[in-house]
Structure 1
Amino acid sequence: MLLDNHNRHINYLRLAVTDRCNLRCNYCMPSEGIDFVKNDKLLTIDELVTLSTILVGRGIDKIRITGGEPFVRKDLMLLLRHLKKLDGLKDISVTTNATLIGPYITELKELGIKDVNVSLDAIDKATFERITRRDQYDTVHENLIRLISEGFNVRINFIVLEGQNEQDIIPILELMKHYPVSVRFLEEMPFNGGSKSFQTIKWDYKTILGHITNAFPKYTKLKSPITSTSINYQIEGHKSTFGLIPSFSRTFCGTCNRLRLTATGDIITCLYGKPKANLRDILRHKGNSDKIKEAILSAINSRAKTGFEAQQEHKSVFSSSMTSIGG
C-alpha cells in the first residue's frame, strides 16, 4: 500500500503514453502547437509495462491511460494487452478526444476496457471547430454514439470556457438525457501552453451549477466516492447524470489518491507541482527496480497537501500545456 506524508492512500495512476495531440484546443496550447519531445525521450511500451508492473506491485490498482491523445500512439493496444495481464490491477480506463478511437473500439470491448472519458467541449459543430481548430466534429460524434451504443461507460468531460462554449452547457445536457452517460463540467485549468494568462475564472463550479439548476430545477445530488474529483447530480427524468469538477478551485485535494507518470517518465504527485523524479532515466541508466521503488516512495513522501501549496514549487505552471503534464 502506498501512503503519502499526509496519510492519503495512493492507488490510482494516470499514465500518459504521449505528449502529442492531433487537435489544437485553444485552452491547451497555442495554434502552432508546442515543442513535442523527440521519440527517444518517450517511454517505450516495454518501459511503460515495467513501470506499471512496479507500481501495481506497490499498490496501484487503477490506471487511466492519458496523453496528449493516447490513440496518436499506434502501439497503444500492445500496452493495454500487457496491462490486462497484471495481477492486482482492477481497473483500466482511457481518456481520449475520440477522433482516433474508432478502429480500436471492438478490441477495447474484448479486453474489458469499457471506462472511457471523452473530452468534448462543445455540442455545436462550429463551436467545436473554433475551440479545437480542427474539422473533426463528425468523427467525434460518430465514435461517441458508437461507444454509448456498444455499452461503454462513457463520461464526457466538458471544460467551461468563458466567452466560448457556455451556450452549449444546457444543450449537451438535453442531448444526453436519453443516454446512461455522465456529463462532467470542469472549471478551466491554468495549463494552456502560454495561450493566455489568467488568475481567476468566471465559470467556477458554483456558477456552473447555478446555470444548470436554473434550467433544470428538479435535480438530486448523488453520493460519490470519497476520492471522486466530481460532485455529481441527476436531473429528474434524465438517464444521464452530470458532475462538476472544481479543477481550478481544487476542493478535492484532501482525498487525492492520484499519481501521474508523464510520457517522458516524470513522476508527478500533484497536477500543479513540479516533477519529483524521472523514472525513465533511472530505468535506462541503472535498470534497477529497487532504485525505481525508492524514487516512487521518496516522491510520495514529499507530496504537497494541496494544489495551491504545490503550485508554489514553480513559477511557470500557468504556461505549461496539459499535453506535456499528462492529463
Structure 2
Amino acid sequence: MLTDKFGRNINYLRLAIVDRCNLRCTYCMPEKGLTWIKQNELMTDEEMLRICSVFTAMGVDKIRITGGEPFVRKNSIDLIKNISQLNGLNDLSITTNGLLTEPYIPQLKQYGIKSVNLSLDTMDRGRFFKITRRNSFDKVMKTLDGLLQHDIKVKINTVVMEGQNTEDIIPLVLLTKGLPVEVRFIEEMPFNGSETDVSLNWNFTKIHSYIKDHFPDIQKTVDPKSSTSYNYKIPGFEGGIGIIAAYTRSFCGDCNRIRITPSGILRTCLYEGGGINLKDEIRMGKTDEELKNIIISSIHQKPKDGWEAQKLSLTASQIHQSMATIGG
C-alpha cells in the first residue's frame, strides 16, 4: 500500500487520457480553446496501461478516467477495456461531459464501469449554451437516461458560478426527487485557462445555506472515507446531494488521491505546480521497479493539503491553467 508522510493510504488514481475537449466551458477554458499538448508529448495507450499496472501492483485499486473529455481520444473505449482487466483493480469509473458517451454505455457496463460522473451545470438549454458555448444539452440528457437505464450509478457534477447558474441549484436538487442520482455542487476554482479571477462568494457555506432555505428538512448523511463531498439527503427524495469545497479545500485531511496528466506528469495534489513525468521515465527505459521507487519518492512528498501545495509550488501563471491540462 502506498502511504504518504502523513500516514494517508493512497489507493485512488485519476488518469487524464487527453487534454482536448468538445466543450468550451467558461470555468475551464477560453472560447477559442487552449494550446493543446503535442501528439508526441501525450502518453500512448501502452504507456498509460503500463503506468496503471504499476500503480495497481502497489495497492491502487481505484482508477478514474478523466480528461479533457475522455471520449475525444481516439479508441478510448479500447483503453478503458484494457485498464478494466488489470489485476488488483476493484473500481474503474469515468468523468465525462456526456456528448460522445451514450453509444458506449453498453460497453461501459460490460467492462464493469459502475459509476460515471456527468458534468451538467444547468437544466436550462439557453444557459447550457452560454456556459459551454455549445448547443448540446439534449446529448447530455440522453447520456444521463442511458446510464440510468443500464443501472450505472450517476453523479452529476455542477460548478456553481455567480451570475451564471445559481438559479439552477434548486432545479438540480429537484432532479434527485425522482431519480437515483447524486448531484454534487462544486465551488468554482481558478483553473479556467485564462487570467479571469473566480468569485468566491458561492462557497460551500452559502451553497448549503441556499439549499437549506428551500429544503429545511435536508439531512446530513455519512461521508465515505476520503470523500471530497459533504453529503446530504432530503427525506422522500430518491437521490442525494453533495457539496464539494474544491476551492476552500476543507477535505484534504484524509486525501487518498493522486493524478496523472495527459502528458504523464504525476501530481500528488490538484494544486501542485510540478511533478515527475512518468512518461519520460518510461521512454528513458526505466524498469517497473525503478518506476515504483520514483512513485514512492513522489508520494512521500505529497503536501498536507491544497493550501500547502499551492504555497510551495504553484506559480501565479499556473493558478489559471486549465483543468483540462491538469487532469480533471
TM-score past 0.5 threshold = yes
Q: Equivalent residue for 1:319?
A: 320
Task: Say whether residues 1:76 and 2:71 are aligned partners.
Answer: no
TM-score of the two chains, using structure 1 as the length reference: 0.97
Match of 1:59 in 2: 59
* Match of residue 261 from structure 1: 260
Structure 2 Cα separation of the partners of residues 173 and 148 of structure 1: 17
For 2:149 and 2:169, the matched residues in 1 are separated by 22
Distance 2:173 2:224 in 1: 23
Q: Distance in 1 between matches of 2:288 and 2:175?
A: 49
Aligned to 1:124: 124
Question: Secondary structure at the residue paired with 2:158?
Answer: strand
How many Å apart are 1:317 and its aligned residue?
2.9
8 Å CA contact 1:269, 1:275 repeated in 2: no
Superposed, which structure 2 residues align to 1:265-280 within 5 Å?
265-280=264-279
By how many angstroms is 1:195 displaced? 5.0
Task: Work out whether residues 106 and 150 of structure 2, in 8 Å CA contact, stay in contact via their aligned partners in 1.
Answer: no
Q: Determine helix, strand or coil for the equivalent of 1:117.
A: strand
TM-score by length of 2: 0.97
Distance in 1 between the 2:12 and 2:87 partners?
15
Q: Cα RMSD between the aligned structures?
A: 1.1
Q: Distance in 2 between matches of 1:303 and 1:175?
A: 37
Query: Does the residue aligned with 1:177 lie in a helix, a strand or coil?
Result: helix
Shift of 1:303: 1.1
% identity of equivalent residues = 46
Residues in 1 aligned to 2:302 and 2:139: alpha-carbon distance in whole angstroms: 40
- Alpha-carbon distance in 2 for matches of 1:263, 1:314: 19
Task: In structure 1, list runs of 5 or more residues that go unmatched.
Answer: none
- Structure 2 residue 25 is the aligned partner of structure 1 residue 25: yes
> 2:141 is aligned with what amino acid?
H
- Residue in 2 aligned with 1:5? 5
Partner of 1:185: 185
- Write the distance in 1 (CA, Å) between the matches of 2:325 and 2:111: 28
CA distance in 2, matches of 1:184, 1:59: 28
Q: Aligned partners of 1:81, 1:212: CA distance in 2, in Å?
A: 39
Structure 1 CA distance, aligned partners of 2:14 and 2:163?
A: 30
Count of aligned positions: 326
- Tell me the equivalent position of 1:246: 245
- 1:138 is matched with 138
Secondary structure of the residue that 1:79 maps to in structure 2? helix
- Report the AA paired with residue 105 of structure 1: I
Query: One-letter code of the match for 2:287?
Result: N
SS in 2 for 1:59: coil
Correspondence list, 1:276-287, <5 A: 276-287=275-286
CA deviation after TM superposition for structure 1 residue 4, in Å: 0.5
Q: Which runs of 5+ in 2 are unaligned?
A: none
* Shift >6 Å, 4+ stretches: none
Q: In 1, Cα distance between the equivalents of 2:173 and 2:314?
A: 38
Provide the C-alpha distance between the structure 2 equivalents of 1:230 and 1:62, rounded to a whole number of angstroms.
17
- Other-structure match for 1:93: 93
User: What is the identity, as a one-letter code, of the residue corresponding to 1:324?
Assistant: T
Give how far 1:238 is off.
Answer: 0.7
C-alpha separation in 1, matches of 2:88 and 2:225: 21
Query: Could you say which residue in structure 2 is the equivalent of 1:229?
Result: 228
| 8 A Cα contact 1:67 1:323, kept in partner | yes
Q: Secondary structure at the match of 1:7?
A: coil
**1:153-174 alpha-carbon deviations (Å, 9 max, x no partner):** 0000000001000000001111
